[in-house]
Amino acid sequence: MHNTLAPHIVNQLTANATHHLQRSRRIFEERLDSRALVDGKTLINFCSNDYLNIAGHTAVKKAFKRGADIHGLGSSGSALISGYSTSHAKLEEAFAAFLQRDRALLFNSGYHANLGVLTTFAHKHTTIIADKYCHASLNNGAQLSRAKFLRYRHNQYQHAEELLIKHQSRPLLLMTESVFSMQGSISNIPSLSQLATKYNAMLMVDDAHGIGILGKHGGGITEHFRLKQKDIHCLVTPLGKGIGSYGAIVSGDEQTIEALLQLAGTYRYCTALPPAICEATLAALAIIQTESWRRIKLNYLCEYFVKESLSRNIPLASHDSTPIKSVIIGSSERALAIQQTLIEKGLLVSCIRPPTVPARQACLRISLNCMHEEQQIVFLLDQLHELLSHDIQ
């Protein structure tokens, strides 16, 4: 079947198939609050990163339509040529104010932002020191920058410090996620910030799963820890999760952001996002700030989930209060089988396998949403308890 492909590709595909690492897609025909119509079947949806259920909000849809009426579809060019509109400028200003940072720059996605930041600020003489569980986009950015790339054990800051000490003669860049996308654990950013100051490293934080969720007003990791701009040099805020939109904001001081505008290839060489997306994202940002019930309900569900998991001895990767709940299974084959059984019972959770997680650490990733109800969580945990009962003593 793959006889036109190079042998190393064929080998990789065969190995993936043998080790239950093949990927396939499901068709989401419709999303309805806590449920989704998937491949013709209505399932309780525990897979969505739209934690606050904003993507389908009436105000967001209206803003999107209004934006399309005014601007049409495409932006017509790179932001540096002809693609930068009033809508883009308004969105950057709104996020700079919301995050209390001097300036913000809108990238086309979190992936673009992470590649852009890392290839701008790291080079072959830099040492990048990162949490072992950082997202692929951060790791890919580090590789692309040609820096020396070292990783410390997950949330083990003493290990991070050992690496910083060892490499302190080189320019240093320390990077982490705020809320880990697969484990749901929260980084202690104040500790990392102190390390960054002590060893004169640049600190970059990816707040993909903190924005909208953490902090009284949904300001994310900086509001959660009451951090000042100087505590995090480069804050990356992808908009596809808690904001329910698309794109990513990078914020920091004037100099840092101007450097990105001047130098980041992923900023320069991409057509700017459609202006209508910016209009819709502005509406989403307003909802984050005004409809705090969404965050309050979600936080309640996060705590409820942990409590109910503990009483059933369900092993979670982290007990931190975030909407990402990960149950470590180990074998990819077994994780897939459990996922399939849950689907048959009307429950959709994601099955995360290597290389997204380390080898032999396949897990079921459950994401909570402010539209879930307690009884849906109880139903899921009861099913999981039964399926895992052989492991749980």
Ligand X SMILES: *Cc1c(COP(=O)(O)O)cnc(C)c1O
Binding site for ligand X (CB under 6 A): 109-111, 114, 135, 137, 177, 181, 206, 208-209, 238, 240, 248
Shortest distance in whole angstroms from residue 264 CB to ligand X: 15
As given in the structure block, the two tokens for residue 67 are: 């934006």
Set 209, 233, 297, 372: catalytic member:
209
Shortest distance in whole angstroms from residue 235 CB to ligand X: 12
Set 57, 112, 224, 241: catalytic member:
241
Shortest distance in whole angstroms from residue 128 CB to ligand X: 15
Closest CA to 171 of 133, 192, 132, 145: 145
Residue 49 a catalytic site member:
yes
Smaller CB separation from ligand X, 225 or 387 = 225
Smaller CB separation from ligand X, 85 or 176 = 176
Question: Cis (ω within 30 of 0) for the bond into 171?
Answer: no
Set 177, 207, 231, 279: catalytic member:
177
Closest CA to 361 of 310, 317, 393, 313: 317
Residue 241 a catalytic site member:
yes
Calculate Rg over the CA atoms of the chain.
21
Distance, C-alpha 38 to centroid of its chain? 23
Smaller CB separation from ligand X, 208 or 284 = 208
* Cα distance between residue 92 and residue 331, in whole Å: 43
Residue 206 a catalytic site member:
yes
Smaller CB separation from ligand X, 240 or 315 = 240
Secondary structure tally for the chain: helices H, strands E: 14, 14
* Cα distance between residue 183 and residue 287, in whole Å: 27
Shortest distance in whole angstroms from residue 144 CB to ligand X: 15
Smaller CB separation from ligand X, 63 or 273 = 273
Residue 177 a catalytic site member:
yes
Smaller CB separation from ligand X, 134 or 287 = 134
Residue 331 a catalytic site member:
no
Smaller CB separation from ligand X, 317 or 387 = 317
Question: Which residues are 363's β-sheet partners?
Answer: 328, 352
* Cα distance between residue 196 and residue 160, in whole Å: 10
As given in the structure block, the two tokens for residue 165 are: 């000490």
Set 92, 206, 231, 279: catalytic member:
206
Q: Cα-Cα-Cα-Cα dihedral of 261, 266, 272, 274, to 10°? A: -130
Set 87, 181, 309, 332: catalytic member:
181
* Cα distance between residue 147 and residue 118, in whole Å: 9
Shortest distance in whole angstroms from residue 179 CB to ligand X: 8
Set 49, 114, 245, 326: catalytic member:
49
- Residue in this structure with the two tokens 């093949």, named with its chain if needed: 22
Shortest distance in whole angstroms from residue 241 CB to ligand X: 6
384 Cβ contact partners less than 8 Å away, ≥ 6 residues apart: 312, 314, 327, 338, 342, 364
Shortest distance in whole angstroms from residue 205 CB to ligand X: 10
Burial class (CB in 10 A: 0-12, 13-18, 19+), 379: middle
Q: Are 76 and 377 in contact (CB under 8 A)?
A: no
* Cα distance between residue 325 and residue 335, in whole Å: 15
Residue nearest to ligand X (CB): 110
Give the residue numbers marked as catalytic.
Answer: 49, 135, 177, 181, 206, 209, 241
